[in-house]
């Protein structure tokens, strides 16, 4: 008897949800999905075009039952109620900032009713499930709830894993210091921060500085649960740009890793793309013009190659990267969904996305 094709449901159509819906819909046949549905919460006239375009692409529109008349007034025809979509879906991917609240309100009950149903949340939804970065801590995946960590957490995890942990292991990491200049707003927003904005220290993150360093340590803790302290520290400021986040790092190692070896390790990771462009707006422009996935870069980081610097004794590796925000975490969410559907085949299915990775920007 042929196995039933899975149904995937995406909640949210914002800066993460919208490109994610297109990515799934446009690869649905190769991934073997029966359907991809999405939930939009608020009927807004300025977002009618966005919703209609996703429906034209092949996604199924679901809305809260009490909002259906308002959507119809705007010319949108929901096919399902949100409750029906949640019931039908084999995997639910929550692309809203309310993943933990939705887990308490809906997902825990659904998981009791349908034990094989899987759930994925995005960003800083700590305690939702296993914190995950594609190709980094796949060995730690378990259960039916997975948290795809934020774009900047991917940005921290990627060079540490590539330069140190994949080779000498966690014991060779003496410290990882990261300074992130975050964009003040997204191009989809009607606002622009006029100046540089500092981020206050939060006691919760203690020695990790900010949530990005804290979450990066949580990712590695899934692989090294007996490691009491993982020395990763991040600092954040917001700058008045709508393009990309920019990260500077200084990774200190115990056993030396010299320049050519560091470069070779970075070059060996297909999820790292190099650039000789030194400004985030030019990198953003290249993605807009050359990306095969609606202007997004799916690589985990864009490494400014001329910035690579290794100390003479090989114990400090430094560099500058641009964060492909709203792009670099998408593959982790796809991989999480595919793992929840079938752990035996998800890595093979993820090869579908290799053709979308940049080799140079």
CA distance 310 to 352: 35
Judge if 109 and 85 occupy the same domain.
yes
CA distance 257 to 96: 40
Query: What pLDDT band is residue 276 in, cutting at 50, 70 and 90?
Result: very high
202 or 251, greater pLDDT: 251
Q: How many CB atoms lie within 10 A of CB 69?
A: 10
Please name the residue that has the structure tokens 């595919």: 338
Q: Assess if residue 208 is contained within a domain.
A: yes
Q: Assess if residue 111 is contained within a domain.
A: yes
Instruction: Please tell me the number of Cα atoms within 13 Å of 141 on its side-chain side.
Output: 29
Judge if 209 and 270 occupy the same domain.
yes
Please tell me the pTM assigned to this model: 0.94
Judge if 316 and 218 occupy the same domain.
yes
C-beta separation of 318 from 249 below 8 A: yes
| In the predicted structure, residue 72 carries a pLDDT above the cut 80 | yes
Residue 208's region, left for phi above 0, alpha for psi from -120 to 50, else beta, is: alpha
pLDDT, tens digit, 9 for 90 and up, residues 132-147: 999 999 999 999 999 9
Judge if 29 and 96 occupy the same domain.
yes
Judge if 196 and 260 occupy the same domain.
yes
| Structure confidence at residue 203 (pLDDT) | 84
Judge if 185 and 124 occupy the same domain.
no
Domain count, the chain: 2
The pair of structure tokens assigned to 264 is: 């070779």
Instruction: Please state, rounded to an integer, the average pLDDT across all residues of the chain.
Output: 94
Judge if 142 and 155 occupy the same domain.
no
DSSP character for 32? Answer: T
List 275's β-bridge partners, or say none: 304
- CATH code at 80? 3.40.50.720
Q: Assess if residue 361 is contained within a domain.
A: no
Judge if 69 and 173 occupy the same domain.
no
| Structure confidence at residue 70 (pLDDT) | 96
CA distance 346 to 351: 9
Judge if 343 and 240 occupy the same domain.
no
CA distance 351 to 169: 26
pLDDT, tens digit, 9 for 90 and up, residues 171-203: 999 999 999 998 766 776 767 777 888 888 888
Judge if 206 and 101 occupy the same domain.
no
Query: What pLDDT band is residue 1 in, cutting at 50, 70 and 90?
Result: very low
| Structure confidence at residue 3 (pLDDT) | 57
Q: Express as a percent the part of the chain with pLDDT over 70.
A: 98
CA distance 48 to 278: 37
- CATH code at 241? 3.30.360.10
Name the packing angle between helices 17-26 and 48-57 (round to 10°). 20
Q: Assess if residue 2 is contained within a domain.
A: no
Rounded to an integer, the average pLDDT of 207-230 is 95
Judge if 117 and 218 occupy the same domain.
no
Q: Assess if residue 1 is contained within a domain.
A: no
Of the ranges 99-103, 179-183, 279-283, the best mean pLDDT one:
99-103
Compute CA distances 314 → 157, 230, 259, 306, 333, whole Å. 20, 21, 7, 17, 35
| Structure confidence at residue 177 (pLDDT) | 98
Handedness of CA 251, 252, 253, 257 (dihedral sign): positive
| In the predicted structure, residue 81 carries a pLDDT above the cut 80 | yes
Judge if 12 and 77 occupy the same domain.
yes
Residue 204, domain extent: 151-323
Rounded to an integer, the average pLDDT of 337-349 is 98
C-beta separation of 301 from 273 below 8 A: yes
């Amino acid at each position: 008897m042929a196995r039933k094709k899975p149904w995937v449901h995406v909640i949210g159509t914002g800066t993460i949800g919208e490109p994610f819906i297109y990515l799934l819909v446009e690869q649905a046949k190769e991934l073997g999905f029966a359907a991809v549905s999405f939930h939009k919460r608020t009927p807004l006239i300025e977002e009618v075009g966005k919703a209609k375009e996703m429906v034209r692409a092949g996604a199924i529109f679901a809305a809260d039952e009490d909002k259906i008349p308002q959507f119809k007034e705007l010319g949108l025809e929901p096919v399902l109620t949100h409750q029906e979509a949640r019931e039908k879906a084999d995997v639910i991917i929550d692309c809203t900032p309310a993943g933990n609240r939705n887990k308490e309100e809906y997902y825990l009950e659904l998981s009791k009713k349908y034990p094989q149903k899987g759930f994925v949340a995005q960003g800083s939804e700590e305690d939702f499930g296993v914190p995950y970065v594609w190709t980094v801590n796949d060995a730690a995946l378990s259960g039916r709830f997975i948290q795809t960590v934020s774009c900047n957490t991917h940005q921290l995890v990627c060079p540490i894993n590539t330069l140190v942990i994949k080779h000498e292991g966690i014991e060779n990491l003496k410290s990882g210091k990261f300074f992130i200049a975050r964009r003040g707003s997204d191009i989809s927003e009607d606002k622009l921060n006029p100046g540089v904005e500092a981020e206050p220290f939060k006691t919760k993150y203690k020695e990790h500085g900010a949530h990005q360093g804290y979450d990066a340590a949580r990712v590695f803790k899934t692989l090294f649960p007996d490691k009491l302290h993982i020395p990763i520290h991040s600092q954040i400021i917001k700058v008045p740009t709508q393009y990309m986040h920019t990260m500077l790092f200084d990774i200190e190692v115990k056993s030396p890793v010299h320049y050519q070896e560091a470069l070779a390790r970075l070059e060996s990771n297909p999820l790292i793309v190099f650039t000789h462009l030194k400004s985030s707006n030019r990198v953003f422009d290249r993605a807009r013009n050359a990306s095969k996935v609606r202007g997004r870069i799916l690589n985990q980081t864009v490494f400014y190659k001329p910035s690579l610097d290794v100390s003479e004794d090989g114990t400090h590796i430094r560099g500058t990267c641009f964060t492909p925000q709203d792009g670099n975490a998408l593959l982790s969410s796809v991989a999480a969904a595919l793992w929840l559907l079938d752990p035996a085949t998800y890595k093979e299915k993820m090869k579908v996305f290799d053709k979308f990775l940049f080799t140079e920007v």
